[in-house]
A and B are shown apart, each in its own frame.
Chain A
Amino acid sequence: MSFLSYLINGISLGSVYAIIALGYTMVYGIAKMLNFAHGDIIMVGGFAVFTIVSTMGGSSAVGILVAVVICTVLGVTIEKVAYRPLRGASPLAVLITAIGVSYLLQNIALLVFGSNARQFTSVVNVPALKLAGGELSISGVTIVTILSCIVIMIALTAFINKTRIGQAMLAVSEDRGAATLMGINVNGTIAVTFAIGSALAAVAGVLLCSAYPSLTPYTGSMPGIKAFVAAVFGGIGSIPGAMIGGILLGIIENLAKAYISSQLSDAIVFSVLIIVLLVRPTGILGKKMNEKV
């Protein structure tokens, strides 16, 4: 029974990684850059909810909504101010800028909220589910997290396949120049990608802080890096890959904590990544790199 509960908690943690990884993988697939500030958007989302709900006494729904709006605007602004001027610059310059933005967000949060950990009150008020005569208890946050992840996955897949802007994303991810020749506004499409990724980061922030209720300016960095690992693990650029990578990572991390060592769990997670990349350099669902001769 305890194995099952570790597994379910792993899936729940993995769902949060998956939602964050979706943002990483979409931005990578479409803008061809690694947005290392993505993890810190999660932290901003967490603080937005904290401020609305705990400090100002607002309702959870308002808190979540405000967090999503703030993160979306922040994501689009970062893209426009920091990344767009570097379009066409070397990938290294963009990467360093992204790391710079990450530190900028952390330090602004440090100035505004200080370095003390805040106690985050869960905004998910769903009762726990008791199964097998009370032996297996699944918390409300766990259920909501897994369900959100499934809904987001389905909605995102439908969005990309059924809408015009989704089609534009597909075209831009494959060939920016050819997309322009089709009449697609490449900068606009990239901005929408950042908006969606950042809105998802806000949702991930809310879920993460509800499950692990301690909030600091550095809250987003470790989950951000792990979600990046999950995205690479699943095959960066692939949406189902981010999902599978995230959930597998969550399960591995939780089972490693439970059965091997909680101190070594992160080391185990990263070792698994290294092994997967040695065997399959493009990740589980990664596209094969066809080298043209």
Chain B
Amino acid sequence: MAMLEVRDLSVYYGVIQALKGISFEVEQGDVIALIGANGAGKTTTLHTITGLIPAKSGSIIFEGKDITKVPGYKLVPMGIAHVPEGRRVFAQLSVLQNLKMGAYTRTDRQEIEDTIKKVYARFPRLEERKNQLAGTLSGGEQQMLAMGRALMSHPRLIVMDEPSMGLSPIYVNEIFDIIEEIHKDGTTVLLVEQNAKKALSIANKAYVLETGKIVLSGDAKELMNNEQVKKAYLSE
């Protein structure tokens, strides 16, 4: 049984249909990439999975439980963390306070302290800036904070929305290295990216979204060599 099963998911914004019955699966240990152009429905898919937008029809099953109608805040203790588009760090709070927010659903203080240490080990720059307000960090640092904050809840599935958006090439490489590390530590990753080349290079499976529908799917390496994908998303 797949870790996450999305079946015939349809989502509307008013009268506009954003998702037209998409289905896909995420197996435990996968890195899945959802790629596609602006407005294809990538972010909508993630928001529907993590309960920020209601689904019109279809179902979302996580570890055997139907979470289609579960409110977003209840999914965090179930093991899903979401790194949102545009980072959405708490700008007026310090780096450390942001990390503690990530552990909101955890109550064991010792465990929280240990997790903070692990996050600092992975992102040394966050430790250097732990008392700085998150709003004063650079874009790349904010992305690291958003990822560290998501890891604070010990997710089994981490959902990332455009982690490389707006970052310098050096940071882009660093962020993708970190995603691979997170994956190696046993967390399943569902990744939405406009940087299709990078996303396909770390994913094992990928789905291509076009105007609310999945038009292509398969092994990430194969998709990378697919003429259609090359032309539309890899600008070759």
Contacts and interface: CB of A to CB of B under 8 A. Distances in A.
A177 B46 CA distance: 13
Given A167-B104, A171-B101, A178-B84, A183 B90 contact: no
Contact of A175 (B52, B72, B88): B88
A185 B73 CA distance: 6
B102 interface: yes
A176 to B, nearest CB: 10
B105 A174 contact: no
B77 interface: yes
Interface in B81-125: 81-82, 84, 88-93, 97, 100-102, 104-105
B153 interface: yes
Interface residues on B, range: 20 to 34
A130 interface: no
B88 A178 contact: yes
A182 B151 CA distance: 11
A156 to B, nearest CB: 18
A72 to B, nearest CB: 23
Contact of B92 (A174, A177, A181): A174
B93 A174 contact: yes
Given A181-B82, A182-B104, A170 B73 contact: no
A175 B90 contact: yes
Given A182-B101, A183-B105, A177 B76 contact: no
A181 B84 contact: yes
A167 B50 CA distance: 22
Interface of A is mostly: helix
Interface in A233-253: none
A185 B104 CA distance: 11
A183 B93 contact: no
Interface in B59-87: 71-77, 81-82, 84
Given A168-B104, A186-B73, A181 B93 contact: no
A164 interface: yes
Contacts of B84: 177-178, 181
A179 B91 CA distance: 13
Contacts of B100: 167
A287 B52 CA distance: 28
B101 A167 contact: yes
Interface of A: 164, 167-168, 170-171, 174-175, 177-186, 287, 290
Q: Which 7 A-B pairs have the closest CB atoms?
A: A183-B76, A183-B105, A178-B88, A180-B72, A182-B104, A174-B90, A181-B82
9 contacts: A170-B92, A174-B91, A174-B92, A177-B84, A181-B82, A181-B88, A181-B150, A182-B76, A183-B104
